[in-house]
Chain A
Amino acid sequence: MNDSKSIDTRSDLLKLLCEAAELEHGIACSYLYAGFSLKRDLAEGGMTWEQQQTVRRWASQIYFIASQEMLHLALVWNMTTAIGGTPYYLRPNFPQPSRYYPLHVPIELEPFGPRSLRRFILYEHPEKVAPQRKLKSLFALAGEDAEKIEFGSVGELYGLIKSGFNNIPEKNLFIGSRTQQMSSDLVHFPDLVKVVGKASAIAAIEEITHQGEGIAHDRENSHFGAFVAMLKELVHAKGRGFSPARPAMQNPAARLDASYGGKAKAIGNPVAAEVAGLFDSVYSLMLRMLAWSFEFDSAGVEDQLRKFCSVAIDLMPRVLLPLGEGLMLMPAGPKYPGKTAGPGFGLTRHVMLPPDAKNARQLCKERLEELASLGGTLLKEQLPDSVKNGCRHLQAIANAFLT
């Protein structure tokens, strides 16, 4: 993390954009995990029909906010390629320590609840704004000494990035090809804009900070405002037996390796671990496909790129969502009594997809075939319906890609 107050070299700017990419990416996963944990059906218990209305509204808002974080990642990728870089899709596995970023909170995978909401509020807290006493007292209800919490902000990071775009001469900086730039016409990220110069770069940064922390006279329509409202509702909604979230474990791992740093926990139930492993593999492939799309120069082949992107995007709602939600209905294993499993969003070493479009397609085709076959094998096990759906949809997507 750069300690200087302003940035004036391309290399430093690129490094910060990588940091921003990791951050948006990690935060999106943290939100998705909380979203997956919210109960769907009354049959799951712990909620009345009225509470179910509220719980499903919370879930849809969290998913919406996660989708905006993904948009932020896409905007960061556009900024990166605009100045000659390549999209950075990696990030540390969870949990990520609290001092990694300007934030003073860890980025973790945790089911929905006061603790996770508190973390979300801290991720999105406006820069240069002293936390209001009301907000601090809201945190204090969670049993902590709110006065001791340090409020950092992703705004600081974007402030530095903005300084780079301001300081480095535009003519020298924007060397990326315009036909590399992705827009909502090519990939389904509504509100995704191309970055072609300083003005559009600054506008992208402002869109990110506006959506996240809001602006001085409009906090309520930001992620920050939404999470504060959600925490207030949750605190007041506690009735006898109200339990909105599935008892998913924290920071699960399908397969523990050294990259996890020790605090993640291996899923004990072997079938759940296989499903979590499949989730990680699909997630990794999806990321690599999207990152490749953002780097690929699509001049003259926009239609092909569009189709390629739509396969990647389709994996999210039709495979990752049902697998993620379904994992939280599966037992975590004997070491975790009363807990259910969850997706670890684990990333392992892998190559970027190659620049040549034909080869990239070949690698995706093979990998989708393998993963579809894994899904097919899993279908023979006792699985929640949503996991079965995810496996079947993976097969359908793979078949469509192959033809």
Chain B
Amino acid sequence: MVKRSPPQKEALTTFLELSRILTGVNGLAVDLGRQYLDRLSSSTFAPSLQQVLERFRSLGKNADPDKVKQHILSDATLRPTICQIILLWYTSGMQDPSDPATPFTIHYGTQEEYFSGLGWQLIGAHVPGLSGGYFGHWRYRPDNEPEEAGD
């Protein structure tokens, strides 16, 4: 395992806290966070990511979704990076701005990342390719049906 320097550890902590607010999911896996941070840091989003992390740090301990919206998301130059962070956690995929087929060409990392995508359960589904549970579960409303789906 690569030993991380204190600035790298701090970046990871900041990234995880920001990700928690952006995704609305608590208890995000640290290893995954590390992998996603690495992928972003070695992509064309890297410079923008640095700005995002700095701005988030400057919000201090009371950072919440409203403050993130007001101070980071409002900046159109940073919004694509915010979007990538959420895409990564929800689907493990990223867009590649240099790919002319973007916006809906999505590139993935590892299989572990793919099967850890959080977005599918948020819509009452499962990661495509992984079993949804048991034969016939699709007949019923999902056992992970999101709250206030309505009737």
Pull 22 A–B residue pairs with CB atoms less than 8 Å apart, ordered by A. A35-B134, A41-B116, A43-B29, A43-B116, A49-B112, A50-B111, A52-B130, A53-B130, A60-B134, A64-B135, A67-B134, A317-B137, A317-B140, A318-B145, A385-B144, A386-B143, A389-B143, A389-B144, A389-B145, A390-B143, A392-B147, A393-B145
What's the tally of chain B residues with a CB closer than 8 Å to chain A?
Answer: 21
Q: B130 and A56: CB pair below 8 A? A: yes
Q: In the bound complex, what is the Cα–Cα distance between A393 and B139 (angstroms)?
A: 15
Q: B134 and A49: CB pair below 8 A? A: no
Q: A42 and B135: CB pair below 8 A? A: no
Q: A318 and B140: CB pair below 8 A? A: yes
Residues of A within 8 A of B145 (CB): 318, 389, 392-393
Q: B131 and A393: CB pair below 8 A? A: no
Q: Is A59 an interface residue (CB 8 A)?
A: yes
Residues of B within 8 A of A188 (CB): 139
**Contacts A317-B140, A321-B143, A400-B151 given; does A48 touch B131 at CB 8 Å:** no
Q: Which listed residue (A42, A59, A400) contacts B134, Cβ 8 A?
A: A59
Residues of A within 8 A of B137 (CB): 317
Residues of B within 8 A of A35 (CB): 134
Q: Which listed residue (A56, A321, A385) contacts B131, Cβ 8 A?
A: A56
Chain A 29-42, CB-CB to B under 8 Å as 1, else 0, gives 00000010000011
Q: Is B115 an interface residue (CB 8 A)?
A: yes
Minimum distance in angstroms from A19 CB to a CB of chain B: 28
Q: In the bound complex, what is the Cα–Cα distance between A314 and B137 (angstroms)?
A: 11
**Contacts A49-B111, A52-B115, A63-B135 given; does A322 touch B144 at CB 8 Å:** yes
**Contacts A63-B134, A64-B134 given; does A317 touch B144 at CB 8 Å:** no
Q: Is B141 an interface residue (CB 8 A)?
A: yes
Q: In the bound complex, what is the Cα–Cα distance between A393 and B147 (angstroms)?
A: 9
Minimum distance in angstroms from A45 CB to a CB of chain B: 10
Minimum distance in angstroms from B23 CB to a CB of chain A: 14
Q: Is A57 an interface residue (CB 8 A)?
A: yes
Q: A396 and B135: CB pair below 8 A? A: no
Q: Is B24 an interface residue (CB 8 A)?
A: no
How many A-B contacts if CB must be within 8 Å? 61
Minimum distance in angstroms from A286 CB to a CB of chain B: 14
Q: A63 and B116: CB pair below 8 A? A: no
Residues of A within 8 A of B112 (CB): 42, 48-49
Q: A317 and B143: CB pair below 8 A? A: yes
Chain B 32-48, CB-CB to A under 8 Å as 1, else 0, gives 00000000000000000
Minimum distance in angstroms from B135 CB to a CB of chain A: 5
B interface SS class? loop
Minimum distance in angstroms from A190 CB to a CB of chain B: 8
Q: In the bound complex, what is the Cα–Cα distance between A56 and B114 (angstroms)?
A: 16
**Contacts A42-B115, A393-B145, A396-B151 given; does A60 touch B29 at CB 8 Å:** no
**Contacts A42-B112, A43-B29, A400-B151 given; does A59 touch B143 at CB 8 Å:** no
Residues of A within 8 A of B29 (CB): 43
Minimum distance in angstroms from A193 CB to a CB of chain B: 18
Q: A60 and B116: CB pair below 8 A? A: no
Minimum distance in angstroms from B64 CB to a CB of chain A: 21
Residues of A within 8 A of B147 (CB): 392
Residues of B within 8 A of A314 (CB): 140
Q: In the bound complex, what is the Cα–Cα distance between A389 and B140 (angstroms)?
A: 14
Report the nearest B residue to A62, measured CB to CB: B134
Q: In the bound complex, what is the Cα–Cα distance between A321 and B141 (angstroms)?
A: 12
> Which of B112, B134, B145 has most chain A Cβ within 10 Å?
B134
Known: A42-B115, A60-B135, A188-B139. 4 other contacts (CB 8 A): A63-B134, A67-B134, A318-B141, A390-B143
Q: Which listed residue (B115, B133, B140, B144) contacts A63, Cβ 8 A?
A: B133
Residues of A within 8 A of B131 (CB): 56-57, 59-60
Residues of B within 8 A of A56 (CB): 130-131
Q: In the bound complex, what is the Cα–Cα distance between A35 and B134 (angstroms)?
A: 10
Residues of A within 8 A of B111 (CB): 49-50
Residues of A within 8 A of B143 (CB): 317-318, 321-322, 386, 389-390, 393
Q: In the bound complex, what is the Cα–Cα distance between A67 and B141 (angstroms)?
A: 18
Q: In the bound complex, what is the Cα–Cα distance between A186 and B64 (angstroms)?
A: 51
Report the nearest B residue to A319, measured CB to CB: B143
Q: In the bound complex, what is the Cα–Cα distance between A174 and B131 (angstroms)?
A: 44
The A-contacting residues of B in range 99-146, CB under 8 angstroms, are: 111-112, 114-116, 130-131, 133-137, 139-141, 143-145
Chain A 41-79, CB-CB to B under 8 Å as 1, else 0, gives 111000011101100110110011001000000000000
Q: B115 and A386: CB pair below 8 A? A: no
Residues of B within 8 A of A318 (CB): 140-141, 143, 145
Q: In the bound complex, what is the Cα–Cα distance between A91 and B70 (angstroms)?
A: 60
Residues of A within 8 A of B136 (CB): 67
Minimum distance in angstroms from B127 CB to a CB of chain A: 10
Q: A42 and B116: CB pair below 8 A? A: yes
Minimum distance in angstroms from A38 CB to a CB of chain B: 11
Q: In the bound complex, what is the Cα–Cα distance between A49 and B115 (angstroms)?
A: 7
Minimum distance in angstroms from B111 CB to a CB of chain A: 4
Q: In the bound complex, what is the Cα–Cα distance between A42 and B134 (angstroms)?
A: 18
